[in-house]
Amino acid sequence: MALHRHAGRDHQLGTPGRLDGITFEIDSDGAQALTRTRRGDIDALPRILPVHYPDQVDAASLHDQLAVWRMASERWAYLGVNHRHAPLGDVKFRQALSAMWDRSHFSRTLHGGLAQPISAFPPGATSPPPSGRVVAAQTLEAAGYRDTDADGVRELSGKAIRLGLLVVGGGRTAAAEARGFVLEARKVGVLIDTITVDAATLMNRVRKGDFDLALMAWQGSPNEDPGLQFGTGEPWNYWGYRSADLDADLEALRRADTTSRAARLEAVSQVLSRDQPVIFLYRFDVAALISKRVHDLAAVADHLDLRQVWVDP
């Protein structure tokens, strides 16, 4: 977007001059939008494409004329888990799956640090859960999932544990993460096959319960009720998850006033972090590029607040 202002300031009041116009431009070419912002044609680029961050917005390329903002969004990623398919209904097995996804490594190497590891529904518990091959293997062993015939694959009721992972095609980052997860699972004796589908097919299969695991994302709101996804019998609980502890905490959360909501949400988050009804992965930050001639710009979640903004001539 480009911001336009009246010439000069109101010297009598000593206040910045008002804007007399804002031009919003939709550019389908993210690289071109970034180039125009660096050139000074655009004052605020609300979204830097992940492929351009951070390498193409380093200090040398911005020449001290632009600032990078990071804004916390309500979008988060997770692995949907079908509890109706054994052994996914076992909390210990889900905890082991959670440990197989190297959130910190993927955040650094694939997401440019914009993916913040989480262990529960944001904005609750955000510290990543215990992870790593050793943690996963120990959890599986303690829960009784063992390789009894020495073929390198753990078993359930005498059969090799083999699961399918639905992934939407066309995304290089998602594909890379899925490959890393599948490889890590194989090293601890769990077979996972990646199944590439389009977005509509993935959601249709999840709604019907025709899946084991599904790599998904959720766009929420600041005061969203987590019970919609995780409460017993709720409309978006596609997982078959049931927890009396969580249902009690959700009811307390719904009754909470503004002063007690944070504590109630933390109680919900603790249960979700423990049970991993889905495998919580990341909450995403959004990177924006703002000209330093722009002042009093604010952010509300991952949106720019222009109500008080003014610009230098």
Percent of the chain with pLDDT over 70: 93
Do 172 and 232 belong together in one domain?
yes
Reported pTM? 0.84
DSSP per residue, 203-221:
HHHHHHT--SEEEEEEE--
Least confident piece of the model among 22-31, 102-111, 239-248: 22-31
Do 104 and 7 belong together in one domain?
no
Nearest to 180 by CA among 147, 218, 132: 132
Do 172 and 300 belong together in one domain?
no
Do 200 and 122 belong together in one domain?
yes
Do 32 and 97 belong together in one domain?
no
Do 208 and 240 belong together in one domain?
yes
Compute the residue count for the chain: 313
- Compute the average pLDDT of residues 182-187: 97
Do 59 and 40 belong together in one domain?
yes
Do 196 and 52 belong together in one domain?
no
Strands 66-81 and 279-291, bridge-based pairing = antiparallel
CATH of the domain at 142: 3.10.105.10
Do 271 and 169 belong together in one domain?
yes
Do 121 and 84 belong together in one domain?
yes
- The larger pLDDT score, comparing residue 297 to residue 201, is at 201
Domain of residue 84 covers: 73-285
Name the band, by pLDDT with cuts 50, 70 and 90, for residue 123.
low
**Is the pLDDT at 209 greater than 50, yes or no?**
yes
What are the pLDDT digits (tens) for 247-280?
999 999 999 998 998 899 989 999 999 999 999 9
Strand (E) positions, 114-154? 115-117
Which runs of consecutive H residues, i.e. helices, occur in the chain?
Answer: 30-39, 59-62, 91-100, 103-110, 133-142, 172-187, 199-208, 227-230, 244-255, 261-275
Do 36 and 142 belong together in one domain?
no
Do 110 and 218 belong together in one domain?
yes
* Number of domains composing the chain: 2
